[in-house]
Amino acid sequence: MADLKYDKKTGRLLFTKQMKREYTILMPNMAPIHFKMLKNVFVHYGYKAELLETTGPEIAQTGLKYVHNDTCYPALLVIGQLIDAIKNGGYDPHKVALFIT
């Protein structure tokens, strides 16, 4: 398992070369053509990346459950899609990185 390294100033978890081999990057499907190209770029450079294609009212409900209701609707959908993938997509929650713009 990859060693977790944190930025000393901000405390943020850093994505390391070792994590590149072990982690799956989950990408929301905000703009299908653009994000499909972006996913392919990540894969080309050796990352494990998955473009999430789940849709439906349950994605919005999941987003509403975890974010404030004043959050913009696209962000609510993206967050719902990411959380749904972790809960129901068969991904190990300790081995994923979430991609959000």
Query: What residues form DSSP beta bridges with 98?
Result: 26
Q: Is pLDDT of 2 > 80?
A: no
Q: Give pTM, 2 decimals.
A: 0.83
Range 40-60 average pLDDT: 93
* C-alpha distances in Å from residue 96, one per residue of 8, 20, 30, 49, 82: 22, 10, 19, 9, 10
Query: How far from chain centre, in Å, is Cα 69?
Result: 21
Write the pLDDT tens digit of every residue in 55-78. Answer: 889 999 999 999 987 888 888 999
